[in-house]
Amino acid sequence: MKITIVEARNERRLVLDGSLIAPWTDELKSACDRARTDLDGRKLVLSLDDVTAISQEGEAVLTVLMNEGIKVRGHGVFTKLLVRQLARRARNEIKETRR
């Protein structure tokens, strides 16, 4: 897994390339923690366009990150579907914790 940081005026984007599987899930969490510093009001966005595989552990990490306010994006058909499913899961988890 390769993580590239792209800085823009409105966002800091982490571009993921490769497989989001253990042990890279821990590396992604660490990279997100580091990337959250000094955002100065910008959004933190994960780009999954170049991800080739995502394990269940990877899906769980993405759901946690979404719950923490990180935006996750992808452009391929499979990736868009996965992001929608994870967003739904994240919303449901938030609803459950508020009850």
Is the whole model's pTM more than 0.85, yes or no? yes
Cis status, amide bond into 23, omega within 30 of 0: yes
The CATH number of residue 7's host domain is 3.30.750.24
Phi-psi region of 22 (alpha: psi -120 to 50; beta: other; left: phi over 0): beta
- Domain membership of residue 77 as a residue range: 2-98
Which pair of structure tokens corresponds to residue 60? 């769980």
2-60 pLDDT, tens digit per residue, is 999 999 999 999 999 999 999 999 999 999 999 999 999 999 999 999 999 999 999 99
| Amino acid (1-letter code) at residue 3 | I
How many domains does the structure of the chain reveal? 1
Does 45 or 79 have the greater pLDDT score?
45
Neighbours of 51 (CB within 10 A): 22
Q: How confident is the model at residue 76 (pLDDT cuts 50, 70, 90)?
A: confident
